[in-house]
A and B are shown apart, each in its own frame.
Chain A
Amino acid sequence: MIDSKLKRKQIIVCLVLTVLLFLAVTWSITSGEYKMDLSAYLKTLIGQGEFKDNLILMEFRMPRMLITLLAGMALSMSGAIIQSITKNPLAESGILGINAGGGFAIAVFIVIGQVNPNTFIYVLPLISAAGGILTALLIFLFSYNKGKGISPVNMVLIGVGLSAALSGGSITMMRKFNEDQAEFIAAWMAGNIWGDEWPFVLAFLPWILIIIPFLFFKSNSLNIINTNDQTAKSLGVNLDKERLILLIASVILSSVAVAVVGSIGFIGLMGPHIAKSFVGPRHQLFLPIALLTGAFLLVVADTVGQTVLPIGTIPAGIVVAIIGAPYFLYLMYKTNAV
């Protein structure tokens, strides 16, 4: 029962975004300290480049680019799902404190864990996911009201509180760190894309390949959950169970992303909202657009952060927040106005 015009619009938006994404990727890869020109880039891409270009592209810039793309997609997808299951347009892993929970777990791990440099990158997403899930379950537990179920508003309020507490906890723990560790956590909290080598891609990709298709498969249930609780129940959705499964899946998704790119908020807010503004709230339609939008936003933010200053860089998380924070305020204004 989807308007065929809407379907056509979705395809057009996807195509345009794909082109924009390709342009953003090209801009990102060709800029930087070593300026690769366009023809060299394209040649290298099809395997005809010079040794030096090949090295820079394949060893340095490509893995970082892939990480950025995948993280953008993961954060946007995760935000979309969390918004749908809490029916709160302002919910997102950053705002709910799930990112901070992952960060806190990582900080704890650095202080008390046995950091083995060989397995560190593979363990990190697991640690972050465990922290994220624990935080999310705490939010669920605290916002659960017997008889009434889970209140979306309570959920966000508790998330904001937890987020502040956990970030504070991470900062407090910095005193136990040596200089490198403290610098790492500080950069992590600012959302600095630090995982920029192939092993990080390998540590990250399997999660994406499992969870994103799983969430796509759940589109139909998500549509129903996104109406209202009574309708969802009356249509036969096992609401509490489905919500828990979807929450855990989306929390893992954002947590593994922030494990490698640092605490980046707002992508999960902007990606889905921009996507819905094109094709409406049906998940089958807007999720693909949300993925592309998230990837595009993060690539652009990272590239801006890398190039805008004559010396040094700005973490992608900060650049995203510069656009994201006003957007959040705008959404809050809109949500209240309705």
Chain B
Amino acid sequence: MNRLTGRNLTIAYGNKVIIEDLDIEIPDKKITSIIGPNGCGKSTLLKALCRLLPIKKGKIALDGTDINKSASKEIAKKIAILPQSPEVADGLTVGELVSYGRYPYQKGFGRLVPEDVEVIDWALQVTGITEFKHRIINDLSGGQKQRVWIAMALAQKTDIIFLDEPTTFLDIAHQLEILELIKELNQKQQTTIVMVLHDINQAIRFSDYMITMKDGEVITQGNIPEVLSSQLLAEVFQIDAELMQDKLTGKPMIANYQLVNRKYSKVEIK
């Protein structure tokens, strides 16, 4: 039995139902990617699973208890979240933001005890940003900023980390850097990772488990070799793709892809 499960989930923005009657299970100690076309509800599902979005119906359980009925601070000791392109107040330094990760463990005025300082230093070190400790976050580059946010999530000392498109707005090298870091966390700390990714090849390369979604429904969920197929890509993404073996990782990768319904290429451009 996995620790984080969702049963009969209905999720809506206001009256607009995005996801209806969905069952989901997140495998422990693995990297899970949620993929799907724009507007398929992948971010919505991610946010609901970590109680950022209230659900209309159903139950999301973590270790058997309903996360929407538990004390939010207690959940914050178990699940850390990296939101999509988060903003931060001007003038805040790296060390300060990372220290906010200790909030779930603090009471009152927020004085940091030696254990907090130790964890913060560790988080800075793991993400390789110790030297930026006193720098202003908004002065850093996109890749560096993203590492600061990951460090804050790490300072929460949770077993589960959610990431909503952690590589958006980064160049390819920085995308790889962030994903390598996530993979390392999973391998060294046994951290359960759940993330939404746009790039299918990156999702395949860096995750063990894959949830594919379309129009608010989960099409498949399972270990990548078992669920990934050309038919699936055609159904979910409307692309005709060839699956090859990535020489570097031994995993599948998609290549030579084009639209199934090639209506755009039929438009005559004058």
Query: Cα distance A200–B136 when bound, in Å?
Result: 44
A31 at the interface (CB under 8 A from B): no
- Taking the closest CB of chain B, its distance from the CB of A271, in whole angstroms, is 16
Query: Cα distance A282–B134 when bound, in Å?
Result: 13
Interfacial residues of chain A within 218-237, with CB under 8 A of chain B in the complex:
219-220, 223-224, 226-228, 230-231, 233-237
Q: Is the interface of A mostly helix, strand, loop or mixed?
A: loop
Q: Contact check, A235 vs B117: say whether CB atoms are below 8 A apart.
A: no
A179 at the interface (CB under 8 A from B): no
B114 at the interface (CB under 8 A from A): no
Q: Contact check, A228 vs B83: say whether CB atoms are below 8 A apart.
A: yes
A238 at the interface (CB under 8 A from B): yes
Q: Contact check, B72 vs A233: say whether CB atoms are below 8 A apart.
A: yes
Q: In the complex, which residues of chain B have a beta carbon less than 8 angstroms from the beta carbon of A236?
A: 71-76, 103-104
Closest to A238 in B: B72
A284 at the interface (CB under 8 A from B): yes
Closest to B101 in A: A235
Q: In the complex, which residues of chain B have a beta carbon less than 8 angstroms from the beta carbon of A217?
A: 108-109
Q: How many residues of B contact A (CB 8 A)?
A: 46
Query: Cα distance A238–B75 when bound, in Å?
Result: 12
Q: Contact check, A282 vs B96: say whether CB atoms are below 8 A apart.
A: yes
Query: Cα distance A235–B104 when bound, in Å?
Result: 6
Q: Contact check, A234 vs B74: say whether CB atoms are below 8 A apart.
A: no
Query: Cα distance A276–B92 when bound, in Å?
Result: 10
Interfacial residues of chain B within 51-77, with CB under 8 A of chain A in the complex:
51-52, 71-76
A231 contact from B51, B83, B90, B109, Cβ within 8 A:
B83
Binary interface encoding of chain A residues 1-38 relative to chain B, with 1 for a CB under 8 A from any of its CBs, else 0: 11101100000000000000000000000000000000
Q: In the complex, which residues of chain A have a beta carbon less than 8 angstroms from the beta carbon of B71?
A: 236
Q: Contact check, A234 vs B96: say whether CB atoms are below 8 A apart.
A: no
Q: Contact check, B80 vs A281: say whether CB atoms are below 8 A apart.
A: no
Query: Cα distance A63–B13 when bound, in Å?
Result: 54
Q: Contact check, A280 vs B86: say whether CB atoms are below 8 A apart.
A: no
B83 contact from A6, A234, A276, A284, Cβ within 8 A:
A234
B112 at the interface (CB under 8 A from A): yes
Closest to A283 in B: B110
Q: Contact check, A234 vs B79: say whether CB atoms are below 8 A apart.
A: yes
Q: In the complex, which residues of chain A have a beta carbon less than 8 angstroms from the beta carbon of B115?
A: none
Binary interface encoding of chain A residues 74-89 relative to chain B, with 1 for a CB under 8 A from any of its CBs, else 0: 0000000000000100
Q: Contact check, B80 vs A234: say whether CB atoms are below 8 A apart.
A: yes
A113 at the interface (CB under 8 A from B): no
Closest to A222 in B: B110
Q: Contact check, A227 vs B89: say whether CB atoms are below 8 A apart.
A: yes
Binary interface encoding of chain B residues 76-110 relative to chain A, with 1 for a CB under 8 A from any of its CBs, else 0: 10011101001111111101111111011010111
Closest to A220 in B: B110
Q: Contact check, B14 vs A284: say whether CB atoms are below 8 A apart.
A: no
Q: In the complex, which residues of chain A have a beta carbon less than 8 angstroms from the beta carbon of B76?
A: 234-236
| Contact A219/B109 with A1-B98, A234-B80, A234-B81 known, Cβ cut-off 8 Å | yes
Query: Cα distance A281–B90 when bound, in Å?
Result: 7
Q: In the complex, which residues of chain A have a beta carbon less than 8 angstroms from the beta carbon of B120?
A: 1
Closest to A285 in B: B96
Show 16 A/B contacts (Cβ-Cβ < 8 Å), sorted by A.
Answer: A1-B96, A2-B99, A217-B108, A220-B106, A228-B83, A231-B86, A233-B51, A235-B73, A235-B100, A236-B73, A236-B103, A237-B103, A238-B72, A276-B90, A280-B136, A281-B91
The 7 closest A-B pairs by CB, nearest first: A220-B110, A236-B73, A236-B76, A1-B95, A234-B81, A1-B99, A230-B83
